[in-house]
C-alpha cells in the first residue's frame, strides 16, 4: 500500500521523513485525541462533509480546539490530494491530539494541538465484497462514549486481533448479548425484508456509511429500524452485514464458525452494495457488479 510523501500538519505540509514527534505527546501517552479515516475514490473524497462534521463534533466532545476552522480544513484536505497527485482509490488518515506537553493528566495550560493527515493507496476490497466475510462475536468492553472517534482503541484492537486469530475479518461486539457494532464498523441484521441496527446513541460510532445505508434503505423502500438485535438473533437472520469507509457495505456470511443464510450474501445486502456504488460514483470498471454475477 503506497504511502504518499506529503503530509498535512498543523503547520502546513511536510515530507513524511520530516515529521517527528516528542515522546511526551498526549496522543502517545494518553490517547488524548481524535481521528478520521476518509475514503477517496479515483482521487475524489467520498462523504467528506460527514467526516469533517464528525471530526469537529468529536473535538468538541473532548474539549479540543481543531487547529483550523472548517473552511480551511476542507481546503487543506483537498490540497493534500493535490500535492500528492492522488488519482486512484485511497484513504486519508487524519488525527489531532491535545499536543506535546510534560506528562500530566490535566490539560496543558495552553494546548497546542498536533495534527497530521496522510494518504495511502487503498483498492476496494472487491473479493470480500463479492463473497462476504467471516466474523466472530466478542464482548464490547469499551466506554460509554463511543460516538467520539477517539484514539483510545485498545478494546477495538484486541477484539479485531482475536478475530484475526480466528481467520475472521471482523469482531461483532455485544454488551450482554445486545449487538452494538463491530470493532471498526457498524453492524446490521436483515429479517423479513427489514434492516435492523443499533440506534445512534452515545455507545456506538455514528458511521458516515451508516448514515448513507439509512438513506439507501429509504430510497429503496426498505424499513430501516434503529433497534438493537441480540447475538442469539444472528443465526435466525436472513442476512447480516457491516459498513465502514474502508469496508463499504460488506456482507457477513459466517458468525462464530456457523454460516448465515447458506453462506452467501443476501439480496438486500446486494441492493445496498449497488446503491453504495452509485452514490460513490464508482465506474463500471471498478464495480463488483460489472461481471454481472449478482445483478
Ligand atoms: C467502531 C467503529 N464503528 C463504525 C465505524 C464506521 O464508520 P464510518 O462509516 O464513518 O467509516 C468505524 C470506522 O472506523 C469504527 O471504528
**Does residue 1 carry a pLDDT above 80?**
no
Percentage of the residues of the chain whose pLDDT score is greater than 90: 96
Please classify residue 23 by burial: count the beta carbons closer than 10 Å to its beta carbon, then call 0-12 exposed, 13-18 middle and 19+ buried. exposed
The residue among 295, 262, 246 whose CA lies nearest residue 122 is 246
Under DSSP, is residue 14 helix (H, G, I), strand (E, B) or coil? strand
Q: What is the pLDDT of residue 268?
A: 98
Ligand 1 in reach of 208 Cβ (< 6 A): yes
Q: What is the distance in A from the centroid of ligand 1 to the CA of 201?
A: 14
| Residue 118 CA: distances (Å) to CA of 19, 43, 88, 196, 291 | 11, 14, 15, 35, 33
For residue range 148-193, what is the model confidence (pLDDT) as tens digits? 999 999 999 999 999 999 999 999 999 999 999 999 999 999 999 9
Ligand 1 in reach of 185 Cβ (< 6 A): yes
Q: What is the pLDDT of residue 96?
A: 98
The confidence band for 291, taking pLDDT boundaries of 50, 70 and 90, is low
Ligand 1 in reach of 244 Cβ (< 6 A): yes
For residue range 223-259, what is the model confidence (pLDDT) as tens digits? 999 999 999 999 999 999 999 999 999 999 999 999 9
**Does residue 217 carry a pLDDT above 60?**
yes
φ, ψ dihedrals at 170, nearest 5°: -145, 160
The confidence band for 283, taking pLDDT boundaries of 50, 70 and 90, is confident
**Does residue 18 carry a pLDDT above 70?**
yes
Threshold 0.85, pTM exceeds:
yes
* 152-156 long-range Cβ contacts below 8 angstroms, 24+ apart: 152/31, 153/31, 154/31, 156/183, 156/184
Q: What is the pLDDT of residue 295?
A: 44
- Where do the domains of the chain lie, and which CATH numbers do they carry? 6-121 (3.30.470.10), 126-286 (3.20.10.10)
Q: Pick the residue whose CA is nearest to atom 1 on ligand 1.
A: 184
Q: Where are the beta strands (DSSP E) in the chain?
A: 6-9, 12-15, 33-41, 44-46, 90-97, 114-121, 133-139, 170-175, 178-182, 186-191, 194-197, 224-226, 239-244, 248-255, 258-259
The residue among 72, 63, 231, 62 whose CA lies nearest residue 148 is 62
For residue range 127-138, what is the model confidence (pLDDT) as tens digits? 999 999 999 999
Grid cell locating 118: 496522510
Beta-strand relationship, 186-191 and 239-244: antiparallel
Amino acid at each position: 500500500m503506497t504511502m504518499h510523501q506529503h503530509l498535512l500538519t498543523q503547520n502546513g505540509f511536510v515530507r513524511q521523513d520530516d515529521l517527528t514527534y516528542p515522546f511526551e505527546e498526549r496522543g502517545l501517552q494518553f490517547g488524548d485525541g481524535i481521528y478520521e479515516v476518509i475514503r477517496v475514490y479515483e482521487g475524489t473524497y467520498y462523504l467528506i462533509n460527514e467526516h469533517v462534521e464528525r471530526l469537529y463534533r468529536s473535538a468538541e466532545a473532548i474539549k479540543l480546539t481543531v487547529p483550523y476552522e472548517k473552511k480551511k480544513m476542507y481546503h487543506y484536505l483537498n490540497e493534500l490530494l493535490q500535492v500528492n497527485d492522488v488519482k486512484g482509490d485511497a484513504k486519508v488518515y487524519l488525527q489531532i491530539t491535545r499536543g506535546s506537553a510534560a506528562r500530566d493528566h490535566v490539560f496543558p495550560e495552553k494546548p497546542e494541538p498536533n495534527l497530521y493527515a496522510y494518504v495511502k493507496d487503498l483498492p476496494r476490497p472487491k473479493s470480500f465484497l463479492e463473497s462476504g466475510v467471516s466474523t466472530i462475536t466478542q464482548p464490547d468492553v469499551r466506554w460509554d462514549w463511543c460516538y467520539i472517534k477517539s484514539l483510545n482503541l485498545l478494546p477495538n484492537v484486541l477484539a479485531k486481533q482475536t478475530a484475526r486469530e480466528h481467520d475472521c475479518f471482523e469482531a461483532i461486539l455485544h454488551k450482554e448479548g445486545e449487538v452494538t457494532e463491530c470493532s471498526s464498523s457498524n453492524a446490521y441484521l436483515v429479517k423479513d425484508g427489514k434492516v435492523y441496527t443499533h440506534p445512534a446513541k452515545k455507545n456506538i460510532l455514528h458511521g458516515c456509511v451508516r448514515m448513507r445505508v439509512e438513506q439507501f434503505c429509504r430510497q429503496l423502500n426498505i424499513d430501516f429500524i434503529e433497534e438493537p438485535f441480540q447475538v442469539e438473533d444472528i443465526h435466525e437472520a436472513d442476512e447480516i452485514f457491516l459498513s465502514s469507509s474502508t469496508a463499504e457495505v460488506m456482507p457477513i456470511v459466517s458468525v462464530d464458525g456457523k454460516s448465515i443464510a447458506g453462506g452467501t450474501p443476501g439480496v438486500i445486502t446486494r441492493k445496498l452494495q449497488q446503491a453504495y456504488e452509485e452514490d460513490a460514483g464508482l465506474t463500471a470498471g471498478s464495480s463488483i457488479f460489472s461481471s454481472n454475477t449478482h445483478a
